[in-house]
Structure 1
Amino acid sequence: MIFGVVVEKLIVHILFPEDNAHLFNEEGVFNYSTMLLREDLDLLVVGAKEAIYALDLNDISKKLASVKWEVTQQQKAECQNKGKHPEMDCKNYIRILHKTEDNRMYVCGTNAFNPQCDYMSYKDGQLTLEKKRENGKGKCPYDPLQRYASIMFENDLYSATSLNFLGSEPVLMRSSPVTIRTEFKSSWLNDPTFVSMTQMPESEMSAEGDDDKVYLFFSETAVEYDCYNKLVVSRVARVCKGDLGGQRTLLKKWTSFLKARIDCPVLESELPLIIQDTYRWCDSQQRWKDCLFYAVFTPQSDTSDMSAVCAYRMSDISKVFAEGNYLTPLETFPVKWVTHSGEVPLPRPGACIDNEARKAGITETLDIPDKTLQFIKLRPLMDQAIQPIGGKPLLVRRGATFTRIVVHQVQAADGEMHRVMFISTEEGTLLKAVNYDGEMFIIEEVQLFQASESIKILKFSNVTGQLYAGSDYGAAQVPLATCGRSLSCMDCVLSRDPYCGWDKVAGKCTLLSSSQRKLIQSLKGDASLCPDAEPIKPLNLSVWSGEKLMLSCFSPSNLAKTIWEQDGTAVNLRARFQLRRNGLLILNASDTDTGLYRCRSAEHSNAGQYAAIVAEYQVSVCPRGSGNGSQIFPQPQISGLSVAGLQAVIGLLLVSLLALLSWNFNKGHIPLPWYYFTKKYGSAEVGEAADSGLHFNDPSLS
């Protein structure tokens, strides 16, 4: 069972430790939003603003090579004359990076609102642009802020972007060998926002002799609904790889372009959520029809703050295009769309060339009859919407805006396989979630960058088993799991991370894949499997009356609830007690605050309720001036040196300085101040001036 319950839980943000993450950015360079995994070269190729980097795939903080692709002053001036911002718009933002079959790379950039493409190679540790510049129109967006999608499939570039400077001519295009594109009709593409693109090998072992296909995910203003305001819906479209266009009708246009609505229903949302990214997950042991698409959705209005993840079967998507009804426009004003109930010509409109078509003498799309082409030209939209598995989202989350998604399958200690979702957000965090028997569980949420900046791209490498993320200000490389965050067996088990288990011999939470021993793991959260933990020793703390004191308590799990007790009674969170994320703050301490404080962590899982003492403090509050200074307060440590020790060192330095000055005065190396007065004014004059309170302003004294 793949579908799960709606999850709306408060997640603790955990800063990602720098020793577990590798970061890259270069001063003055921004927009690290295009990535190409070159696992054959152990490289991560990153496209940014006017720069391309070849980074070490195992440690992206190591730059192996780079190349600049900057606009000329003339190109910048022409862009500015067209009303664009000289620094924001009139630069070259790298947007296309694909591997070619000869192991080169195809790269395109916005090039100051005049897109261009080139070939690039990596050899002898150098990145080299071949400077065989090609027109990037229809391949790469003009506007650096515009969403787009592209793939390189058998050396053919499929791209979805705008064909003109104004961004008013959206197009899905194949650039070679024969350029084929969509019609400029609102029924085909109506103010779309392109999201992602992928190919499916549907010709493999096909009994029907079917063709491979390319799928495009996007959103657009709906044409089929009669609404007062514009309604945006999510779509999936597909075209056939062998499409050459029509002979007369749809000349050099797609004859196989079909699109359908794709839904991710959330009951609390009045308007449809909008698709933002997809991830294709396929099992190498299964056929293409068993592949899944995981998609992230966000609200289209400010009245909702819910993001969601839905999953779709490839077989369900394919069935809508192969067997579904078409919508047809009525000649009314405004145009109304209804289910087509008339005759559907043969071969089926929008279908690829298959064995049945070949038997009828149709061996390529140029042979398709005009009747079929006229039908699909007017009716590219399917009636039936594609529904998610289970009819509902896998995950719904309030307060976070999802941006990208990656899905990875892992085998747990019990041998079961689990698909873990990694979801990035506009706030710069990365969520890690998994479905356990119908229950969607968020394992953790981590902050990838120091600043809360939107994550614009997310990639996964099967070679390194690492995730790679890009934002405006840098790129990050992070592991799939950081088991070392759990410091106890209970913490490790209750995290319910399928990648991690507790090693009783080593006494630490570790990766299953890196251990040869049997580890303690319970994805139900059964912490009773853990050995008894050693009791916590209380830490003695003293504070002056009226001062404040912070009692630290780090929650072992993002779903654990922290409970504070004073002398066995729950702390009353009144004005002088403030519960912080990492502890309890006592303000304006008084005698009543003296006592034994315990921080308990309580967490509920399917296996039961678990609680443990995380921290314990014996707090003493002393009146100011009491004890004649005999009361000893714990001193904070600074780099291994106590504050008292630091004061002693400073005192010793001051004594040494005074002794050195005294020695220099005695030797005459430094004249005494009154030497100047005596020399210039004489001793009597100086004495009189001092008696009268005069202040000398002589240059020789400065």
Structure 2
Amino acid sequence: MHPLLSLCVVWLLSMALALGEESSVNSFPRRTVPYHRDNIYMFHEEGVFNYSTMLLREDLGLLVIGAREAVYAVDLHDVSKKLASVKWEVTQKQREDCGNKGKNPETECKNYIRILHEMEDNRMYVCGTNAFDPMCDYMSYVDGKMMLENKTENGKGKCPFDPYQKYASLMVDDDLYSATSMNFLGSEPVLIRSPDVSIRTEFKTSWLNEPHFVSMAYLPESVNSTTGDDDKVYLFFSETAVECDCYNKPVVSRVARVCKGDLGGQRTLQKKWTSFLKATLECPVLESQPPYIIQDTYRWCDPKKPWTSCLFYTIFTPQSDTSDLSAVCVYKVSDISQVFSEGKYKTPVTVETSFVKWVMYSGEVPSPRPGACIDNAARKAGINETLDLPDQTLEFVKNRPLMDQVIQPMGGKPSLVRKGAMFTQIIVNQVQAEDNKTYHVMFIGTENGTIVKAVNYNGEMFIIEEVHVFKLAEPIKILRFSTVTDQLYAGSDSGVVQIPLATCERSSTCMDCVLSRDPYCGWDDRTGKCVTLLSKSQNKLIQSVQDGDASLCPKPAPSTPVNQSVRVGGSLKLHCTNPSNHAVTIWEQDRLTLNPTHRHHFLKDGLLILNASDSDAGLYSCLSVERSKMNTYTSTVVEYQVTIALSGKEDGIGFPHAQRDGLHVAIAIFAIAFFGLFSWNIYKGHFTRSCRDKSGQLSPEVHEEMALDSIVVVIIDHNNGEAT
């Protein structure tokens, strides 16, 4: 092994140890995929924005998209194919009325589609902000046509007034659960169920205090329940903490829970939730203060196991500008359920006649347990529905909806921490790898329009790739995936894109395929391709997701060098793009390590040879050196056979001597002229004025003058039209 290669190996080993110690802040993708329109399918309609609501209709082969003043049905296999659409625009009078109330007629006073759910009769329920006057309607798709039924309903409490206000909704047995604001000002937050038996939260700060709603999830906890329990609806949100004993109340993350069969109380809590309880979620990121705030959740359940095995994958981001870390914390549903069913309550106590402090309640808890669903024990006591609950139980939960115990994530720490663009959305898919083990692959949207694909391998955070799916850096507002098409769908302000869950074709070699450690992918030695396990290939695939053991790969066939020629004194660039961000690139000439010199410049995407001589002829190899958990692996990315051309031939980035000499003279004349101009300005006193403004920063004028000092000379190859 050559000295430089040995040095690279030692450096990689030390980096691996450092990453192991500080992986919480140094996680970066193995592969970065730039945006290219040929890599994705995209849907966008001219003049329409905010594609932030989606409904998968796999039964119809559709992806239904809610945007600003429009709903679209596109092909689930190719979202660029629009199959049907419906316009739902506000009238001129509605826009004017909205503008008269102080809202922007061109942006806020539109109809932003916010609610889009499938109903049991195969229709869809859709709601929009409707120029700060939310409305709902029913929509059908028949014979390739989609239409609104014009059976409009008041959307107050179902859909937000403000298109920029966060909200959450869920449809269960044609009952709409929604978390939004009940009024124009957005000052009356509510969790409400409609339409038949309308139940809502109390308008008290102890229930909801300036909340930002995130998401909802439904869990059928009554199925095979030995206690006769009820199904639950979980709500995730953040709010200002009323319980904090401090002057500036921090924002905290919460999870709340209500029972599906809740009908409200008979006298106390009439038409209000009797089962509303909430608890604090903690995602400890480097002992950060103030705490990180919840942004999105995804409920993952194994259909073959009971609901107690379900997990909530949750995104957290900092609430201050001092950090650029995002985190994924995973919570067990069983842990959350246990806090609500067995945990202690917090209670407010008055201190010094005016100040209210929240402490753990240590008194007697009434029976039935406050906030509990109706179960067999309650029925045995003659309580068959919440209307039968005693006032003592209802008064207790009315005044004490907050649990004392803080819910911690699995392992007591985040499953993934990433520095860079903030996380916005998350979905999770389970994959069975070649080792017959199942892995949870996270797809995470960011505010820069990228999707991060990551797996946590027994505590080791590994980011497989980060893909730029939008041309502009814009936040991803919604993520969905289909198990029918094995495709991922992402929406933003500008459109909707579709990419496959498995992107195995990005790896052209067995080593790259194995080192990517993607559970979807394995190397098929018979076909010589990296293929997806979803293809149900009968061949035994080479894969090592937990260790990245590339020694399983067969020895690669010798590569065929690419011929390149350059004349004496000319310049030549040899292109080489390393397939991995985790690897380092080294160059060899005739199997000997090449060191950087004033004539040999190592670039990010290749090697630049300047002022070529006869000694530069030979075989150049671009090598990738990458460390996995098992070993350090070296692979040849590309090879070039470089020859020195006869005088007069200019096959590289070379230049004739006459042109080069003339160019040197031109540069010298230009330098003399510039120096003279600079001296003349000093003599005239143009540079004697203050160089800094009152803030201590360089003034704009000086910035302009300093810019003259940065002269870039561009040399053009007259044969190839390339610049050096």
Q: TM-score, normalised by structure 1?
A: 0.86
Picking from 568, 574, 579, the partner of 1:551 is: 574
- Output the aligned Cα RMSD: 2.4
CA shift in 2, pair 1:547/1:159, >3 Å? farther
1:335 is aligned to 356
Report the 3-state secondary structure (helix = DSSP H, G, I; strand = E; otherwise coil) of the residue aligned with 2:24. coil
Matches of residues 87-106 of structure 1 in structure 2 within 5 Å?
87-106=106-125
Contact 2:571–2:652 (CA<8 Å) still a contact in 1?
A: no
Report the CA distance between 1:619 and its aligned residue: 5.1
Matches of residues 169-188 of structure 1 in structure 2 within 5 Å?
169-188=188-207
Report the CA distance between 1:548 and its aligned residue: 6.0
CA shift in 2, pair 1:585/1:264, >3 Å? farther
Contact 2:297–2:426 (CA<8 Å) still a contact in 1?
A: yes
Picking from 431, 442, 462, the partner of 2:483 is: 462
1:407 is aligned to 428
1:611 and 2:610 matched: no
Q: Matches of 2:566 and 2:245 in 1, distance apart?
A: 69
Report the CA distance between 1:540 and its aligned residue: 4.0
User: Over residues 320-372 of structure 1, what are the superposed CA-to-partner deviations in whole Å (9 max), with x where a residue is unaligned?
Assistant: 00000000111233321100111111111111111111122211111111111
Picking from 548, 556, 559, the partner of 1:533 is: 556
Extract unaligned runs of 5+ from structure 2: 1-21, 655-717
2:704 is aligned to none
Report the 3-state secondary structure (helix = DSSP H, G, I; strand = E; otherwise coil) of the residue aligned with 1:307. strand
Report the 3-state secondary structure (helix = DSSP H, G, I; strand = E; otherwise coil) of the residue aligned with 1:300. coil
Matches of residues 404-443 of structure 1 in structure 2 within 5 Å?
404-443=425-464
Q: What amino acid is aligned across from residue 361 of structure 2 in structure 1? A: H
CA shift in 2, pair 1:184/1:521, >3 Å? same
Report the CA distance between 1:542 and its aligned residue: 4.3
1:148 and 2:204 matched: no
Structure number with larger C-alpha Rg: 1
2:79 is aligned to 60
Q: Matches of 2:442 and 2:90 in 1, distance apart?
A: 39
Q: What amino acid is aligned across from residue 595 of structure 2 in structure 1? A: V
Picking from 381, 400, 411, the partner of 1:360 is: 381
Picking from 595, 600, 605, the partner of 1:571 is: 595
CA shift in 2, pair 1:630/1:583, >3 Å? closer
Extract unaligned runs of 5+ from structure 1: 636-642, 647-702
Q: Matches of 2:184 and 2:338 in 1, distance apart?
A: 37
Report the CA distance between 1:10 and its aligned residue: 3.5
Q: What amino acid is aligned across from residue 323 of structure 1 in structure 2? A: E
Matches of residues 274-673 of structure 1 in structure 2 within 5 Å?
274-332=293-351, 333-514=354-535, 515-523=537-545, 524-542=547-565, 549-565=572-588, 568-572=592-596, 577=601, 579-580=603-604, 582-585=605-608, 589=611, 594=616, 597-618=620-641, 627=647, 629-633=648-652
Report the 3-state secondary structure (helix = DSSP H, G, I; strand = E; otherwise coil) of the residue aligned with 2:228. coil
Report the 3-state secondary structure (helix = DSSP H, G, I; strand = E; otherwise coil) of the residue aligned with 2:26. coil
Picking from 148, 154, 157, the partner of 1:138 is: 157
Report the CA distance between 1:538 and its aligned residue: 3.6
Q: Matches of 2:323 and 2:249 in 1, distance apart?
A: 17
**Comparing 326-335 with 385-394, which one deviates more in the overlay?**
326-335
Q: Matches of 1:174 and 1:585 in 2, distance apart?
A: 66
Contact 1:234–1:263 (CA<8 Å) still a contact in 2?
A: yes
Q: What amino acid is aligned across from residue 189 of structure 2 in structure 1? A: P
1:34 is aligned to 53
Report the 3-state secondary structure (helix = DSSP H, G, I; strand = E; otherwise coil) of the residue aligned with 1:357. helix
1:44 and 2:44 matched: no
Contact 2:256–2:276 (CA<8 Å) still a contact in 1?
A: yes
Contact 1:6–1:394 (CA<8 Å) still a contact in 2?
A: no
Contact 2:569–2:613 (CA<8 Å) still a contact in 1?
A: no
Report the 3-state secondary structure (helix = DSSP H, G, I; strand = E; otherwise coil) of the residue aligned with 2:511. helix
Report the CA distance between 1:59 and its aligned residue: 1.1
2:27 is aligned to 9
User: Over residues 6-63 of structure 1, what are the superposed CA-to-partner deviations in whole Å (9 max), with x where a residue is unaligned?
Assistant: 3623334212554552111111111110000011111100000000000111111111
Contact 1:541–1:634 (CA<8 Å) still a contact in 2?
A: no
Contact 1:502–1:521 (CA<8 Å) still a contact in 2?
A: yes
Q: Matches of 1:386 and 1:556 in 2, distance apart?
A: 41
Picking from 218, 221, 226, the partner of 1:199 is: 218
Report the 3-state secondary structure (helix = DSSP H, G, I; strand = E; otherwise coil) of the residue aligned with 2:120. coil
Q: Matches of 1:268 and 1:328 in 2, distance apart?
A: 27
User: Over residues 178-233 of structure 1, what are the superposed CA-to-partner deviations in whole Å (9 max), with x where a residue is unaligned?
Assistant: 11111111111111110000111111111211111100001111111123333111
Report the 3-state secondary structure (helix = DSSP H, G, I; strand = E; otherwise coil) of the residue aligned with 1:477. strand
Q: Matches of 1:593 and 1:443 in 2, distance apart?
A: 41
2:126 is aligned to 107
**Comparing 388-397 with 613-622, which one deviates more in the overlay?**
613-622
Report the CA distance between 1:497 and its aligned residue: 1.2
- How many matched pairs? 630
Report the CA distance between 1:544 and its aligned residue: 6.8
CA shift in 2, pair 1:610/1:247, >3 Å? same
User: Over residues 73-116 of structure 1, what are the superposed CA-to-partner deviations in whole Å (9 max), with x where a residue is unaligned?
Assistant: 00000011111111110100000000011110000000011110
2:98 is aligned to 79
Q: Matches of 1:345 and 1:621 in 2, distance apart?
A: 92
Contact 2:316–2:326 (CA<8 Å) still a contact in 1?
A: yes
Report the 3-state secondary structure (helix = DSSP H, G, I; strand = E; otherwise coil) of the residue aligned with 1:331. strand
Q: Matches of 1:286 and 1:634 in 2, distance apart?
A: 64
Q: Matches of 1:184 and 1:512 in 2, distance apart?
A: 52
Report the 3-state secondary structure (helix = DSSP H, G, I; strand = E; otherwise coil) of the residue aligned with 1:159. strand
2:275 is aligned to 256
Report percent identity of matched pairs: 66
CA shift in 2, pair 1:407/1:631, >3 Å? closer
Q: Matches of 2:388 and 2:334 in 1, distance apart?
A: 28
1:24 and 2:46 matched: no
Q: Matches of 1:280 and 1:100 in 2, distance apart?
A: 21
**Comparing 434-443 with 82-91, which one deviates more in the overlay?**
434-443
Q: Matches of 2:578 and 2:249 in 1, distance apart?
A: 46
2:690 is aligned to none
Report the CA distance between 1:594 and its aligned residue: 3.5
Report the 3-state secondary structure (helix = DSSP H, G, I; strand = E; otherwise coil) of the residue aligned with 1:6. helix
Report the 3-state secondary structure (helix = DSSP H, G, I; strand = E; otherwise coil) of the residue aligned with 1:506. coil
Picking from 160, 167, 175, the partner of 2:179 is: 160
Report the CA distance between 1:571 and its aligned residue: 3.5
Contact 2:374–2:386 (CA<8 Å) still a contact in 1?
A: yes
Report the 3-state secondary structure (helix = DSSP H, G, I; strand = E; otherwise coil) of the residue aligned with 2:638. strand
CA shift in 2, pair 1:477/1:343, >3 Å? same
Report the CA distance between 1:577 and its aligned residue: 3.0
Report the CA distance between 1:398 and its aligned residue: 0.7
Q: Matches of 2:573 and 2:59 in 1, distance apart?
A: 52
Q: What amino acid is aligned across from residue 519 of structure 1 in structure 2? A: L
User: Over residues 216-253 of structure 1, what are the superposed CA-to-partner deviations in whole Å (9 max), with x where a residue is unaligned?
Assistant: 00111111112333311110000111111112211111
